[in-house]
Chain A
Amino acid sequence: MSDATSLDRAGSQPAVRPAMLNRLRYALRVSMREPTTAIGIVIALVFTYLILAPIVTMLFQAVSVQFGDERRTAAEAGAGTLYYLNRTFFSAISTDLFWRPLLNTLTVAGSAIIVSMVVGIPLSWLVSRTDMLGRKWFATALIVPYMLPAWTFALAWTTLFKNRTVGGQPGWFEALGLTPPDWLAYGRVPITIILALHYAPFIILLFGSALRRFDSQLEDSARMLGARPHHVALQIILPLMRPALLSAIVLIFAKCLGEFGVPYVLGLPVKFEVLSTSLFRNLASRQTGVGAVIAGSIMALGVLTLLIDAKLVKEARRFVTIGSKGTMNRLTRLGVWRLPLTMFALLIFVISVCLPLLTLMLSTVMKQPANFAISNFTLDYWIGTNLETVALRTGILLSPDLWAAGWNTLWIVGSASIVSGVLGLLVGYVVVRTTWRPLSTFLRQVTFLPYLVPGIAFAAAYLSLFAVPRGPVPALYGTVTILILALMADQMPYASRAGISAMMQLGKDPEEAAQIAGAGWFRRMISIVIPIQKGSLVTGVLLPFISGIKGLSLFVILAVPSTDVLTTFSMRLVDYHYTQAANGVVLIIAAMAYFGTLAAQKLTKTNIAEGLGG
């Protein structure tokens, strides 16, 4: 090769220049012609720092001596140790730290899944395949529980069932003289019921849409061969619906794993712990090492679930051919059952939406619980002044703390959502367009990673990386920056998925047509790609925004009073037993989430099902 170069330099013939060099030059010219790959490399580095680094740091913390534990481990801080693993999994207190919370998590998730199936499967059938009354209305109404934060229901539950075990204002039943037993007031039973009602919409959405896509001709063929309706249901419909059902179950399980608010509100009074609350307690008491082990375990469970899901999805592909062309959807006539079954759906709606919201609403305008005398009603908790309380002496609407928290929510969640929406579209662009495959694969995987990590574990990971100064980066704990960064990273799976699918859908053609017409990269971005993707950009910002507003698990670990958002503010009020005020704040959040979702749907004409992951 050096010979060839010298020959070239001697000026013999430009045509015999080393082929390798020219090949490289060609490749370079082709790839550097556009900034796509360069941009991709930059965002890949950003995500390595914002997603990969915190998780790795946290996993590392689980096996190295934490500051303050030198005596117990008889080793220097930072040295490798199995102390935390030992303590979490094998020591005398491992039962309390890990095993019982694990068992509780699994049983609660399991029973929540069963209950939500029992409720959700009939409902999804009613909504998608029958002539029940008000079918269209129910299709939206039954999804509402998922639009509201889960712990809204937890607070409603305590408002109704709280007993004398815990101080503060008693629940309505207690006030009426009917003391609810502990098992009904707190712990496993209410947590299971609430999670089941909150996640039943998953079944209705996923199972229902599979039912709708189901081709009636498949049913008809079975019937032509003499199968009775129950044969058709058991031997044709159910087996074909299995993939959709399984993936809904997996999704619910993964969500239950990271659920924090509900077990926190309802489990703590009776020391009923799940993994997420155990993690929270350990972090709150500065047991970072053990915390890291628990967070790692939650992550491992999450990964396991996702692996199972991936396998199921692969299996489900075998059924893809169904419902292809001749899809016909015929509604079953319910006949005499029409009214009773409609009432059943209505009952579920009342239990899962009306009752809790009404309870919360009433509780914020009543001085004493369950006293329905006119004199007991007041708007003091909303707009009162000079109240006779230790703190919060005004109604919440007049409290500067609420407005500060509201403002924080808006701009922290807002800016994180905007950044993640834009980054998501960029990721989508690079993933679809770059000619450099490894970059595309890496970006897709790294942005998906937070999906495997339940919010509370992800927050713990952020704490590990950013709680202390590292290199040029100062300690970020207690700042707004850490909240925005964590929130943004946590939302990347949805944002990047939205971006990738939007870019896939757009295809190359419109951009290539502009290229042929003479448009360079920036011109194409500004005149073609961004204007066409406006809609999906709006969705990519709005959906994370809504899920961010009602999100609790990230904030509860990373927020401090000065960076309170509405969710953590309401939790603090719960902790101090300002029941009415807490319920008021929760209602505000619920309203924001609900109307935000509606607005997003109207604005983008998208289906809520697509934003389901958020």
Chain B
Amino acid sequence: MPTIELRDVQKSYGGQGANAVRDLNLEIGDGEFMCLLGPSGCGKTTTLRMIAGLENLSGGEIRVGDRLVDSINQGVFVAPEHRHMGLVFQSYALWPHLTIERNTDFGLRLRKVPKAEREQRVDAVMRVLDIEKYRHRYPSQLSGGQQQRVALARMLAVNPNVLLLDEPLSNLDARLRLEMRAELKALHAAFKTTIVFVTHDQWEAMTLATTIAVMNEGTLQQMGTPDDIYERPANRFVAEFVGSPPINIMELGSPELSERAFAMKKFLAEHFPSLAGVGSVGLRPEALHISEAGEPVPEKVFQVPGVVTGILPTGGNWILELQCGDGTLFLTTHEVPEVAVGTDVTVWAKPKSLHAFDSAGRRIEEADRLMRTPKKAVLTKAPKLKELAG
């Protein structure tokens, strides 16, 4: 089974304007469930279509396994129909003039698979996706979720090397989406196919992917496990894009500091004097805690006075809006808040939950070494260390 390798891939749509994709290097391992995550227009769908061969490169090369499928420099281009991949479109793109069965066995017929085997495979795949009873219907007679299953079945029937999914869940309602997410995960486990999944929905990416590649403005921002992306965002963009409510950012670089930023600067100078060049600090909403003003606060924590200005219940969780001087901080908690709107509080956070970025927005690794206990890092690295040892 192949890995997919993108090397220095460029894509521009002619004329002026920024490139759709720039200097993209990506390696997708065999059997991986890779999510391309980013805001709309970040080049993630273009990347997917280039892997499929539906979009031509403007530079670089793509390799699937040991086969070069796309290369400007060597003048190689393998047509999409010869790449043996599966692609599920956002619109599903079911053929309206063919029944569900004919939609599903289209690829098998093309490959001249003998009738008996064809039927057996179509049956199997229809059973897995629970669409057997619609086999003689036409796509327009199915609901969105059912169409979605047919689109998947159509691609799974030919047993592709790689399954590409272009925001396949975005047209479904919330409940169906949840169901299909679980189903996709189960399918991945069962078929062991390499899956590349494009989405702008961070929760979808977090819950499904084994690896997430975050993209913005045509460039790769960070690649890593969902935990990595959330816990150790490589830069400001990733930190701010992932997470809801968004991460609280304190700008330390500007000449006029906000009250929070001033407190942060003081805290860093006091406890981590060796740390230099911090441009901004991020704090996830769940990393913030409050104590009523005057009450004790743990030692060696960042703290700033504030006022509770809003309490927003979200069903089991609460979002607190805190006014600190001239700025707002968001805090999330799953404990019933014991304060009322208008209460004066002290907002505090432990140093290990700080994300420090330099003035260019890059993560400062030095800060992690200083502030975070290495426990977590060892845990995630452990299997790989074992491999090395073995």
Contacts and interface: CB of A to CB of B under 8 A. Distances in A.
Nearest to B157: A517
Nearest to B80: A515
Contacts, number: 94
B85 A29 contact: no
Interface of A: 14-15, 17, 19, 21-26, 29-30, 33, 435, 507, 509-510, 512-520, 523, 527-528, 531-532, 534
Given A435-B56, A532-B95, 19 more contacts: A14-B74, A17-B73, A19-B73, A509-B92, A510-B93, A510-B95, A513-B154, A514-B106, A516-B54, A516-B80, A516-B85, A516-B86, A517-B106, A517-B154, A518-B81, A518-B107, A518-B158, A519-B106, A532-B97
B134 interface: no
B84 A518 contact: yes
A162 B71 CA distance: 79
Nearest to B160: A516
Contacts of B245: none
Contacts of B106: 514, 517, 519, 527
Contacts of A517: 81, 106-107, 110, 154-155, 158
Contact of B75 (A22, A507, A531, A534): A22
27 contacts: A17-B73, A22-B73, A22-B74, A25-B75, A26-B56, A26-B72, A26-B75, A33-B79, A509-B92, A510-B96, A512-B93, A513-B94, A513-B154, A515-B54, A517-B81, A517-B154, A517-B158, A518-B82, A518-B107, A518-B110, A518-B111, A519-B110, A527-B106, A528-B95, A531-B97, A532-B95, A532-B96
Contact of A22 (B72, B82, B154): B72
Dominant SS at the B interface? loop
Given A22-B74, A26-B77, A517-B106, A507 B84 contact: no
A35 to B, nearest CB: 13
A166 to B, nearest CB: 57
Given A523-B110, A528-B95, A532-B95, A513 B87 contact: yes
Nearest to A21: B75
Contacts of A528: 95
Contact of A509 (B52, B84, B89): B89
Contacts of A24: 75
B25 interface: no
A520 B82 CA distance: 9
Interface in B35-88: 52, 54, 56-57, 71-77, 79-87
Contact of A515 (B73, B81, B155): B81
Contacts of B83: 516
Contacts of A15: 73-74
B75 A29 contact: yes
The 5 closest A-B pairs by CB, nearest first: A25-B75, A509-B93, A517-B107, A513-B93, A22-B75
Interface residues of B, number: 35
A513 B110 CA distance: 13
A516 B54 CA distance: 9
Interface of A is mostly: helix
Contacts of A22: 72-75
Contact of A516 (B76, B77, B87, B92): B87
A297 to B, nearest CB: 39
Interface in B101-122: 106-107, 110-111
A13 B364 CA distance: 43
A532 B94 CA distance: 11
Contact of A512 (B54, B77, B158): B54
Contacts of B155: 516-517
Contact of A29 (B77, B81, B84, B110): B77
B200 to A, nearest CB: 19
A516 B161 CA distance: 12
B97 A516 contact: no
Contacts of B87: 512-513, 516
Nearest to B90: A509
Contacts of A527: 106
Nearest to B91: A509
A25 B72 CA distance: 8
A8 to B, nearest CB: 12
A30 B72 contact: no
B81 A519 contact: yes
Given A517-B154, A532-B95, A512 B80 contact: yes
The residue in B73, B93, B110 that gathers the most chain A C-beta atoms within 10 A of its C-beta is B93
A99 to B, nearest CB: 48
Contacts of A519: 81, 106, 110
Nearest to B83: A516
Given A15-B73, A513-B87, A518-B110, A30 B56 contact: yes
Contacts of A21: 75
Contacts of A512: 52, 54, 80, 87, 89, 93
Nearest to A31: B56
A492 B192 CA distance: 52
Contacts of A534: 97
A481 to B, nearest CB: 36
Most buried by B among A26, A512, A527: A26
Contacts of A33: 77, 79
Interface string B261-278: 000000000000000000
A516 B95 contact: no
Contacts of B110: 517-519, 523
Contacts of B154: 513, 517
Contacts of B52: 512, 516
A490 to B, nearest CB: 32
A517 B111 CA distance: 9
B74 to A, nearest CB: 6
Most chain A CB within a 10 A radius of its CB, from B52, B56, B85 = B56
A515 B55 CA distance: 12
B158 A23 contact: no
B86, B91, B97, B155: most-surrounded residue (chain A CB, <10 A): B97
